[in-house]
Amino acid sequence: MIDKLNRKIDYLRISVTDRCNLRCVYCMPEEGVENIPHEEILSYDEIIRICKCVANLGIKKVKITGGEPLIRKDIVSLIRDIKKIEGIEQVTITTNGVLLYDMAQDLVEAGIDAVNVSLDTLDREKFLKITRRDKYENISKAIDKLINLGVRVKINCLAIKEHNLDEIVKIAQYSKYNNVDVRFIELMPIGYGKNYTGISNETILDLLEKEYGLFEKISEKRGNGPAVYYRNKDFKGCIGFISAISHEFCETCNRVRLTANGFLKLCLHYNKGIDLKEPMRSNISDEELEHMIYHAIKNKPLGHNFYHDSNIKNIENKNMVQIGG
């Protein structure tokens, strides 16, 4: 559908849980965060109902997120059911990869179109320091398995000066030797992320070009989101940058988010949106639900205001794990 700013909104990110099996230092404290009670989490039937409504409104692409989505029971069946909805053309998932190895084949058989794996380091000890869990080998094996299965894989690396500046070049090698896109994601000043320092696109590109030679920007569309991609003649995959702060893409934003407890979130920076869970549980009709969603998306904000968030109202104060990535 088209919002009031003439943007085509065709992408819904669905958080199926706020729980996670890692404790990344930029995301949450070591003891974790208070989780939403299970009865307040949307059921799969409720998620499917919303997906059918948004498909009628022109949403064509769905991303399953968390928390960590693979920890939710029967997640593969949800993916299979969303794939069957008329109008939904792609279903993808973003995962930390801890449980991915054992579930990879089932995801492929369910029809998953692509898998994004979050990976900030290739060093086991550093991984333990960042995530507070010794699970690096799980993720490394899972990525290799997905590649062997022929699944479209993207690696999402959160670029943080304090953690992985010295590994940028090594992480990029996934893209050099495999048909895998490595995307470097700019740190956003949300929750515990405010305690760390991001690495600019320019710094990363400079490091890569010193090691591998020239990278040329391409116009090819390689996904559903706002990443800007570069190609090197010796690489099988591409290098991408997702930079919501320094290279703002709000004017072309095509997405909305559904939180695990049923809040349709229109912009990552604001707590504004609309609750869909309570109306559904109060027996609202499908027509009324679709009407609510339509008017909410129609009034999606122009963009974030991270530069001046101390001076404006309705700022999101939740951590990313509570919002959905």
Which pLDDT score is estimated for 247? 62
Identify whether 130 is part of a domain: yes
Identify whether 66 is part of a domain: yes
Which pLDDT score is estimated for 315? 47
Identify whether 4 is part of a domain: no
User: How far, in Å, CA of 20 to CA of 191, rounded?
Assistant: 16
Question: pLDDT (tens digit, 9 = 90+) per residue, 32-45?
Answer: 888 999 999 999 99
Identify whether 257 is part of a domain: yes
Identify whether 146 is part of a domain: yes
Q: Give the sign of the dihedral formed by CA 273, CA 246, CA 120, CA 223.
A: positive
Q: Extract the tokens encoding 269.
A: 């920076």
The tally of domains found in the chain comes to 1
Which pLDDT score is estimated for 189? 75
Residue linked to tokens 């997640």: 75
Alpha-carbon 200 to chain mean position: 20
Q: Environment class of residue 246 by beta-carbon count within 10 Å: exposed (0-12), middle (13-18) or buried (19+)? A: exposed
The angle subtended at Cα 274 by Cα 255 and Cα 258, nearest 5°, is 45
Identify whether 180 is part of a domain: yes
> Nearest Cα to 157, choosing from 184, 130, 136, 180?
184
Which pLDDT score is estimated for 316? 45
Q: Which segments of the chain have a pLDDT < 50?
A: 306-310, 312, 314-316, 318, 322
pTM of the model: 0.90
Indicate which CATH number applies to the domain containing 133: 3.20.20.70
Q: Which residues on adjacent β-strands are paired with residue 2?
A: 8
**What is the Cα gyration radius of the chain?**
19
Identify whether 6 is part of a domain: no
Q: Which range marks the domain in which residue 184 is found?
A: 11-323
Q: Encode burial over 91-111: b for 16+ CB neighbours within 10 A, e otherwise.
A: bbbbbbbbbbbebbeebeebe
Identify whether 234 is part of a domain: yes
Which pLDDT score is estimated for 324? 53
